[in-house]
Amino acid sequence: MISRGRLTNPHAGHIHPFARGYAVGSFVRDSRHLKGSRSPFPPARKMSSPTAQGVFAHVWREIVKHGPMAFKMGCLVNVIHNYGVHVTMCLGPSMLPTFNRSGDFVLVEQLSVMADNIRRGDIVISKSPTNPRHTVCKRVLGRGGDVIAVPKAGSFGGTQRVEVPSGHLWLQGDNKDNSTDSRDYGPVPYGMLRGKVFLKLWPMSEVGVVKSERWRSVLTE
């Protein structure tokens, strides 16, 4: 039944499920073609990966910023190591009782060697005459021009006189009964010295200055 200006269909206003799906789908399809419409969500930011040029530029800025200070520190460390002091270990029985058989850490300085200020009684670090890749820790008992009283080989005892050549040193261990030194390989060239031992660092109970002992001289009268 139709009345004036009003639809009397009892199903008026009801949307069939298929029609509802079609309407929604149509809205979605149509919205894809809308231009100029604003999304309620902010646009996604594009993630840019670092390029080789950018990484190089960053590294270069760091070098320019910290390079001069790093260079100065490197030079200082090199000067201290080559011309100042360094730590080494004196290991073995040849320097008993001054140093322990199990090994003592000591400080070694090079200035005395450079200034030719090595005296009789000083303890020095030298390259090994028998194996230059190794070093030895011995006491200086003679300098160039000195005449040394050296025990003769064999069981008959006695001593023999040996003159130390110019530019050489006579090195011996404090434990003369168990030391391979100048009595075996002869005078050591001064250029093989690596420094003078002046301080014992370890063990802690024996920390202190390493003294020169001139009384150990083996010079002839």
Q: Of 133, 143, 221, which Cα lies nearest the Cα of 182?
A: 143
How much of the chain is in helix, strand and coil states, percent to nearest 5?
Answer: 30, 25, 45
Catalytic residue among 138, 179, 196, 200: 138
Q: Are 150 and 171 in contact (CB under 8 A)?
A: no
3-state secondary structure of 142: strand
User: Is-catalytic flag, 46?
Assistant: no
Does residue 218 contact residue 172 with C-beta atoms inside 8 Å? yes
Nearest to 142 by CA among 197, 177, 199, 183: 183
Asked if 48 is an active-site residue, the reply is no
Q: Do residues 194 and 110 make contact, with C-beta atoms less than 8 angstroms apart? A: yes
- Among the options 94, 126, 179, 182, which is catalytic? 94
Of 109, 113, 112, 117, whose CA–CA distance to 88 is shortest? 109
Question: 3-state DSSP call for residue 138?
Answer: strand
Q: Which amino acids are annotated catalytic? A: 94, 138
